[in-house]
Structure 1
Amino acid sequence: MDNKTLSIVSYITIFGWLISFFSGKDKADGLLRYHLKQSLGLVISTFILYAVLNVLFLITELGFLVGLFGLLPWVLAIIGIINAANEVEKPLPLIGKMFENKFSFIG
């Protein structure tokens, strides 16, 4: 797979990220490295968000509202896929700036 395709695949769950990371680590360009960082940040943020939402769901009666926030990672993943498909290095809304300079093991 080329780097553009790997960039897109990296946003499809943690398994997509692992496939992209290990398939492209030897031939990674700036685009792939950027989207690997963004998508890993999204995965980490998703785990944290879902943990918080589960606690809120248990202690509040606002299940529907809490459930709506659960859609946020899917929306961010779609935005990331669109950016990767257009070969744009644009940070994800809300969380992208936090992860631009993190994860030095990616490159």
Structure 2
Amino acid sequence: METTTDNGKTVAIIAYITLVGWIIALIMNNANKTALGSYHVRQALGIICVGVLLIILVSFIGISILTWIVQLAVLVFWVLGLVSAVQGEMKPVPVFGEQFQEWFKGI
């Protein structure tokens, strides 16, 4: 039987596995809310949103090196969030991590 802590860690990790994983994690977390699961669902959503917005913005600018830099930054944020989830920590991703918690506090 899975404990609440294990469920939270599972939700936290799944939240970072693509958009489909995020949706699954959201559903799992809504069924059995944990602080760790909710925290990482918000962090992952923030990374997804900021990543999509930055890629769209950079695409309009049309500078390919900037696109690579943005993609690398999003990848680094994703890895940092995933590592934090695997370790069972509630550590915000750099730059916007604290804002993600505020912006998506309803989740």
TM bracket (short chain): 0.7 to 0.9
TM-score scaled to structure 1, two decimals? 0.85
Between the aligned partners of 2:66 and 2:74, the Cα distance in structure 1 is: 15
Task: Quote the offset at 1:105 in angstroms.
Answer: 3.0
Question: How many matched pairs?
Answer: 102
Contact 1:56 1:66 in 2 (8 A): no
Deviation at 1:102, TM superposition (A): 2.4
Determine which structure has the larger helix proportion and give its number.
Answer: 2
Task: Determine helix, strand or coil for the equivalent of 1:100.
Answer: helix
Among residues 20, 30, 35, which one is paired with 2:35 in the alignment?
30
Given that residues 15 and 41 in structure 2 are in contact (C-alpha distance below 8 angstroms), is that contact kept between their aligned partners in structure 1?
A: yes
Q: How does 1:1-107 map to 2 (within 5 A)?
A: 2-57=7-62, 62-106=63-107
- 8 Å CA contact 1:12–1:77 kept in 2: the answer is no
After TM superposition, the score normalised by the length of structure 2 is 0.85
Kindly provide the CA deviation profile for residues 71-97 of structure 1, in whole angstroms up to 9, marking residues without a partner as x. 211111110000011111111011101
2:76 maps to amino acid:
V
CA deviation after TM superposition for structure 1 residue 104, in Å: 3.5
Q: Please state how far the C-alpha of 1:24 moved relative to its aligned partner.
A: 2.3
- In structure 2, do the counterparts of structure 1 residues 18 and 65 end up closer, same or farther at CA, with 3 Å as the change threshold? same
* Structure 2 gap ranges (5+): none
Distance 1:25 1:66 in 2: 35
Stretches of 4+ moved more than 4 A in 1?
A: none
Q: For the aligned residues, what is the CA RMSD?
A: 1.6
What percentage of residue pairs aligned between the two structures are identical? 27
Distance 1:66 1:50 in 2: 7
